[in-house]
Structure 1
Amino acid sequence: MEFRHLRYFLALAEELHYGRAAQRLAISQPPLSVAIQQLEASVGARLFDRDSKGVRLTPAGAAFRDSAQTLLDRAEDACALARDVQAGEVGRLRLGFVGSTLFNGMSAWLQAFQASHPKVEVVVIELNSQDQIDALLGEELDLGLVHTDRLPPALASQPLYDEPFLACLPAGHPLAALERIPLASLSDQPFILFSRKGSPDYHARIVEICRRQGFYPRLQHEGRHWLSVVSLVSQGLGVSIVPAAFQRAGIQGAAFRPLAEAIDASAVFAAWRRDSAGVLREQFLATRPGAALRA
């Protein structure tokens, strides 16, 4: 049985006339007759009675008609779904993100994408950079927003935006009275840093920023998420150097000040598997509001 057999059957079932049905199908009558005979042989039942009075559906044909229409409708739905998935109109996007993106316009980005792709399900998962890399390699994420472009060969990336680093101090700290914080003034302070395990590259960058100013940070605590780092600072447990986005997190008790020295910015990258399908990923990246994702 072929789908064309079902289309021919339904046309004849509506017209009950071989000539009109053939004209409607844009074929001649002999191929239509052959197709109906083939369909009846496949079904194992006579679907039409033919005599001098015309063409009539048999009881078996009448019973078959509704099921045949359902089969065709489902086939058309399946074809439409396949086209929509290929075009990126339907599907599921599993998105990992680092905490700083929450304060750099990620909600506006998600809303813009969902408005233009209402049939796409977006699942967002907050993970540190290393956990996102592992999840991408394990095919548990489709796209990650990470703080590093030092990735395994199986992953690709593109830069999204960057923002300055700020000194993060307890609000009552004497250095918080300064407009700009010289890095060297933090050399004897207990530091709270992002976990080395959570993002080895990011941890190393902060240490290198301090080393260039002549000291190694006196590490007191580590956090697996930047919000944890800022929260520990706000409770007076140390100081840190954090991406500027976190001054918009609204954590009471933390003060943010520009650094006196010019240092490399904090960068966010999109990362994905090189061998993964890219339509949804590309469309999601294309909807990013450029101005909204800048510090």
Structure 2
Amino acid sequence: MELRDIEIFLALAEELHFGRTAARLCLSPARVTQAIQKQERQVGAALFERNNRTVRLTQVGPSAPGRPASAVCGAEGRVWNAPSSPVRASPARCAYGMLPLNAYDLRPYWDVFRLRHPRWKLRIHKAQLGEAFPALRRGDIDVLVSWLPVDEPDLTVGPVVFAEQRVLAVAADHQLVGRASVSLETISDFQHPHADTGPGYWYDAYAPRLARRGRQIERGPVVRDAEEAMTLAGMDGLVGLFPAHVARYWARPDIAYLPVTDLEPLPYALVWRSEAESEPIRALAGIIHDLGPLPSA
């Protein structure tokens, strides 16, 4: 059974109106009718009773073996909950993973999502650097805010949420402290932490391997997350690149932040597993598209 047909069933079970269901899913009423009729043929019984005035679930709809809702539990259970009564579907839940630290800056998107779709539950999770893509592929999270590029055949890249300049985190007593800014060429004199994150091109976009003149930038110890990279910068003399919002969210007495002048702003976008795309994911992407990316700091 197609996941789109399952979404149609669940939306109709909640709306109990073919026209509203079609409008909600951006479909024609005929497409909704065709999907329900197809499912009824597969089940071998009517799922809805309808006439010119009312639509309601039959007893078969929520309870028949092999019903569409049961397929959701197997195919999309981490996003959708199957109807628990013959009247309404349970709320959907969308788990949103964050690689950047600026969840508060993104609050306008969360607020609009909750205002427009109060029946859906949005949950914000911190994504671990090395586990971000595996968590997305396992279904632990449904969408991810990730820096670009993301060029993976099974993942869809949605709208850009924000783009930021980079800063260099150094120990408060580092020899670079006191400069107004630094260049990539300058920071190539120092060792940087390394992250074993998966796609090499992805981490290289965050922390380049080469300076402008082709000089190799040395990478040192492997870190699991940003906190570990920050600790190494404060204690062991390493330097680390971060998006600029880290300077606001992680003010520390042992760390100084220096603007990096010759790196392009790093864009972050919404990413999800293509085969798990759902109505809540499309709604969230649509809100980000409507509101546009955050203004540059």
Pairwise CA distance, 1:146:
1.3
Identity %: 15
Question: Deviations 1:93-145 (Å, cap 9, x if unpaired)?
Answer: 01111033436x13443344334433322233222465232233233322111
Residue of structure 1 equivalent to 2:274: 274
Pairwise CA distance, 1:80:
5.4
Secondary structure at the residue paired with 2:250? Answer: coil
Pairing 1:81–2:88 present: yes
Residue of structure 1 equivalent to 2:120: 120
* TM-score when normalising by structure 1: 0.61
Residue of structure 2 equivalent to 1:99: 100
Which AA in structure 2 matches 1:149?
Answer: P
Which AA in structure 1 matches 2:244?
Answer: A
Q: 1:228 to 1:285 in 2, by over 3 A?
A: farther
Aligned residue runs from structure 1 range 138-149, under 5 A: 138-149=138-149
Please give the root-mean-square deviation of Cα atoms over the aligned residues, in Å. Answer: 3.2
Pairwise CA distance, 1:163:
0.7
Aligned residue runs from structure 1 range 50-61, under 5 A: none
Q: Is the 8 A contact 1:196 1:204 kept in 2?
A: no
1:294 and 1:177 map into 2 onto residues whose CA distance is: 25
Pairwise CA distance, 1:293:
6.5
Q: 1:244 to 1:207 in 2, by over 3 A?
A: closer
Residue of structure 2 equivalent to 1:234: 234
Which AA in structure 2 matches 1:164?
Answer: Q
Name the one with the larger helix percent. Answer: 1
Pairwise CA distance, 1:79:
6.3
State which drifts further: 239-248 or 133-142: 133-142
Q: Is the 8 A contact 1:155 1:274 kept in 2?
A: yes
Q: Is the 8 A contact 1:148 1:201 kept in 2?
A: no
Which consecutive aligned stretches of 4+ in structure 1 deviate over 6 angstroms post-superposition? 74-77
Q: 1:207 to 1:93 in 2, by over 3 A?
A: closer
Residue of structure 1 equivalent to 2:200: 200
Pairing 1:166–2:167 present: yes
Which AA in structure 2 matches 1:81?
Answer: R
Secondary structure at the residue paired with 2:181? Answer: coil
The runs of 5 or more residues in structure 2 that have no matched partner are 1-58, 64-82
Secondary structure at the residue paired with 1:102? Answer: coil
Secondary structure at the residue paired with 1:174? Answer: coil
Which AA in structure 1 matches 2:197?
Answer: K
Question: Deviations 1:8-45 (Å, cap 9, x if unpaired)?
Answer: xxxxxxxxxxxxxxxxxxxxxxxxxxxxxxxxxxxxxx
Secondary structure at the residue paired with 2:169? Answer: strand
